Amino acid sequence: MTDTAKPVRLLGLSGSIRRHSHCTAVLNTLAGSLDGKAEMTLFPLNDIPPYDPDLDAENTPAPATALRDSIATADGLVVISPEYNYGMSGVLKNALDWASRPAMKSPVRGKPILIMTASPAFTGGVRAQHEMRETLSGMMGRVIARPQVVIGMVHEKIKDGRLTDQAALDFALAAIDDLLSEIALLRGATGA
């Protein structure tokens, strides 16, 4: 499916910075369940400062530069958020604002992206998906088209920091497979 000479590097971004974040637990579980198909690292958003255009030039804060560099070196992104007031978390939106620069040349441009939401509500954060898709598409990211990964009642599906609900895990891993297929298509088209 993908070029075995060059491992696929995925970057996970969790829109929750809580110590026992359900979203981060989902990403950690996925990272440990890839069975050699890809490598996924997580970039914590805890140290990303509020976006300030005055600092976005030669004085770009180191955490924002590190985020951009991590996105640039990844083959694809896995972005998950809780739902706050029908939208993505402010932490994630802020990080995406930093990642969106420089305009039209951001590291997100053309990057295959899988979006997910997780929430204790039975709706699983589905309303945040639209906002995430709009923001990432506005950044010229390649949000993959597939059935939405929405993990409702997530607090009942996480045990000891791992996603233990097999149906939710299987569906999320199938979404990762779709992301890897998109990356493979992109690599084939560019000869990467």
In this prediction, residue 5 carries a pLDDT of: 64
Residue 27's CB is within 10 A of a number of other CB atoms, namely 26
Instruction: Give the pairing of strands 158-159 and 162-163.
Output: antiparallel
Question: Average pLDDT, stretch 5-23?
Answer: 94
In this prediction, residue 59 carries a pLDDT of: 87
- Whether 89 shows a pLDDT value over 70: the answer reads yes
Do 65 and 73 contact (CB within 8 A), yes or no? Answer: no
Confidence at 18, pLDDT banded by 50, 70, 90: very high
Residue 106's CB is within 10 A of a number of other CB atoms, namely 20
In this prediction, residue 191 carries a pLDDT of: 67
In this prediction, residue 115 carries a pLDDT of: 98
Q: What is the pLDDT of residues 150-183, one digit of tens each?
A: 999 999 999 999 999 999 999 999 999 999 999 9
Q: What is the pLDDT of residues 116-152, one digit of tens each?
A: 999 999 999 999 999 999 999 999 999 999 999 999 9
Q: What is the pLDDT of residues 46-64, one digit of tens each?
A: 999 999 999 987 789 999 9
In this prediction, residue 103 carries a pLDDT of: 86
Do 82 and 17 contact (CB within 8 A), yes or no? Answer: no
Query: Distance (Å, rounded) from C-alpha 79 to C-alpha 130?
Result: 13
The model's pTM is: 0.94
